[in-house]
Every structure is written in structure tokens, then in C-alpha cells.
Amino acid sequence: MAGNSFGQAFRITTAGESHGPGNVVIIDGVPPGLPLTIEELQVELDRRRPGQSKITTQRQEPDIPQFLSGMFEGQTTGTSLAIFIPNKDQRSRDYSDIKDKYRPGHADYSFDAKYGRRDYRGGGRSSARETGVRVAAGVVASKILKQECRASVQGYVTQVGNIVADIPDPAAITRKMVEQLPDGTPNIVRCPDYVAAEKMVTLIDELRKDCNSIGGVAEIVATGVPAGLGEPVFDKIKADLAKALFSLPAVLGVEYGVGFGCATMTGSEHNDLFAPDEKNAPVIQKDVTGVKTTTNRHGGMLGGITTGMPIVLRAAVKPTSSLPMEQQTVTRDGEETTISTKGRHDPCLLPRFIPMAESMVAIVLADHWLRWKAQCGKIAPDTAR
Ligand SMILES: Cc1cc2nc3c(=O)[nH]c(=O)nc-3n(C[C@H](O)[C@H](O)[C@H](O)COP(=O)(O)O)c2cc1C
């Protein structure tokens, strides 16, 4: 009922809040014998952590994870894998002024409406602190995908405000292009169109100085995903991916392939045409021909099942709601008042959103990979024929 778990064969359960001792994820369904180190988790957590550049929040959270269970001698045991990330840099006093006020655009009012109480220090369970452990789980999911089917997931920023990146081939974008500028310095906005990236950084910095924030769009691409993963009805892989992305804080829209663009297209404009491709031949269904499509408007999924083409998703992320500027609001007692949030907040959520979105996509794909193997992985030879 409480919605703290996600996935079936690869299942994550999280607990924790922004101003408690920390956050924990329990991952069930991890195959035994998967090599895993804290250092591998740390690489991804460093991409998500606060304080990484001038355009992110200046909170300094080292986000150093600990294994609590499910590991022995550097490998997973196959039992539930628990990872804990302590909170270090909470400043609860930043929130004392707004304890009885509802932050516009945040979850304060809706939490009170549901529970009749809330931890006003930073949003409690609604805080993006919770997503750290999802990123840790995403590392495990990505390792399963890499090891078992060589699939990988890459996200990047395609839009900040009105600045839109030009990305001709989403499947060609590499981690290096997202993380580094051509001169080797960090690409702090994580947009691989470097002309657009520079404009995005300038815009975010201007808005930060104005005590404001800005929204944008992230694109997430999964390549190497074999054809045949997913379910035909309620657990369509597109439905699970949408839920995964919508479960992240601040996501107001999700689309895949041409997305809402399909509304103005004719069938002949929209259909992706099939062509033979032996490289894409199904691993298990040996009598099925390998195909590719000559375009990828369908975004790698048809009928809730992967086609073997790159999975291309986009998420629209809203501007950070907590603002240091004064805005109108209401107190818990219904009095009209004003509010300005003193805490340290990201002026644009997109750069730190990327590893979170990649992780959730990897978690869904690992889940469906394991489900596919469980159902279709060992077809008994048809002895009757
Ligand atoms: C990386 C990241 C960091 C965030 N940090 C903040 C923050 O510092 N202040 C804030 O008001 N919202 C922040 N949010 C967004 C809120 O958590 C979110 O808007 C809030 O929980 C309400 O949920 P909703 O926007 O999904 O409806 C962050 C979101 C992400 C993805």
C-alpha cells in the first residue's frame, strides 16, 4: 500500500528522509556472484551529489555509501542487498522560519492533507535525498545489464528554459561527451551540445543570482537492449519506464520516441519501416528473423515489448520550487502570508537529475531482463516434433 517498493524480479525498497540519519535501499533479486565495490557506487553518487558545481546547490553531502547486507568478499551473495547513505550536511535551522508555511510548488500542503503532520525540515520523504540510494541501486542494475546483455543507459540534458540542444543521434551520445567539455573540463550542465551547454550554464547562473530557478528536459537512451523484454498489458515496459521516471521528484512529463509529436503525424510519416538485421536476431526465439527499423520514431518499444532499437525517453523537469525570493502563501492555520526559502537549493534540477533518471531506467530494464529470463529463458525442446 505504501508504495516504497518498485519492480518485481529486481525489486528495490527505500526508506529514509532528508533530515533523518540517512537513506537505505534494499534490493531483492540481485543474482549471486556479481562483483560490486563501494568505489563503483561512489562514481555514480558523485554525479548526483549536491555541491558539485556553481550551478548546483552548495550543500556539501559526501554521500558515502555502506553495504549493510548481501555482500561477501566483494561479490553479491544473492540475498537482499542493503545499501545505506548517511545524511551529513543537514541544516534544519534553515527550515524553522517556514515550519508552518506551505512552500508553493512543494509537497508541504499535500503531505499535511494526507498525513495531518509532516517533517518540515527539507521535505522529509518528498526530498530528493531519497534518490541517492536509487542511484546506488541503479549501479547494480547497470552491472547486471552490462554483464548479461551489454546494454547501457545514458542520459543528458536537452533543454533548459528556451535553450534547446541539437542532438542528431541520441544513441551516439557517450558518457564522456556528457561529462566532459572538449577541453577536458567538467560539462557541469551535462548537455552534449556544447554551444547550447554554455548558454544553459549562463542562464542558470543568471537565474541563481536573481533568486529564481528554471526547468528543462532530460533525454535518456538505452542501447543494446535486446528485442523481447516487457509485458503486453499492465506491465508494458513503456508503462514501467513512465512510472519509474514519474516517481522521481519534479517530473511533470514523460514521453518516448516522437512522443507528443505523433499527434500531428500521418501513419505513413510515423511508421518506422523494418529491414532485416542479423545482428539483432533474438537470442532465444531462434526461428524469428532479426530486424531493425530504418528510423526510430517508436522509441524502441512496440506493444509494451522492446524491439532491439535504442529506447529513447524524455522527462520534463520543473523549476525548483523552493526560492529565496518572496512569494505569497498560506500558513497551516489558513492565514495569508509570504515565504522565502533560505535553504540551499539547485537553481536548475536537470544536471543532478541525469544520474537519477539513468538509474531508474536501468532498474526497469534489469527487472524486465530478469523477468524475461525467468519466463522465456529456458524453453524446453519441443520433443513432439
Ligand atoms: C535533483 C533534485 C533536487 C531537488 N532539490 C530540491 C530543492 O532543493 N528544493 C526544492 O524545493 N525542491 C527540490 N527538488 C524537487 C522536489 O523534491 C519536488 O518538487 C517536491 O518533492 C514535490 O514533488 P513533485 O514536484 O514531484 O510534485 C529536487 C528535485 C530533484 C530531481
Give the residue extent of every domain in the chain. Answer: 5-376
pLDDT tens track for 80-123: 999 999 998 666 666 777 889 999 999 999 999 999 988 888 78
Distance separating alpha carbons of residues 3 and 131, to the nearest angstrom: 15
With a 6 A CB cut-off, is 347 part of the ligand 1 pocket? no
Q: At CA 344, angle to CA 341 and CA 347, rounded to 5?
A: 90
Closest atom of ligand 1 relative to the 318 alpha carbon? 25
Cell representation of residue 313: 525517453
Cβ 348 under 6 angstroms from ligand 1:
no
For residue 211, the tally of other CB atoms under 10 A from its CB is 14
Q: Which atom of ligand 1 is nearest to the CA of 343?
A: 8
Interacting residues of 305 by C-beta distance below 8 A, sequence separation 6+: 227, 228, 229, 230, 231, 232, 236, 237
57 Cβ below 6 A of ligand 1: yes
Q: Whose CA is nearest to atom 19 of ligand 1?
A: 250
Architecture of domain 5-376 in this structure: 4-Layer Sandwich (3.60)
Q: Supply the DSSP symbol for 310.
A: P
Separation of CA 287 and ligand 1 centre (Å): 48
224 vs 343, which has greater pLDDT?
Answer: 224
pLDDT digits (tens, 9 = 90+) for 112-168: 999 998 888 878 899 999 999 999 999 999 999 999 989 999 999 999 999 999 999
Integer Cα distance of 320 and 337 in angstroms: 20
Cell numbers that stand for 48 in this block: 548526483
Confidence (pTM): 0.96
Residue 261 cell numbers, joined: 509529436
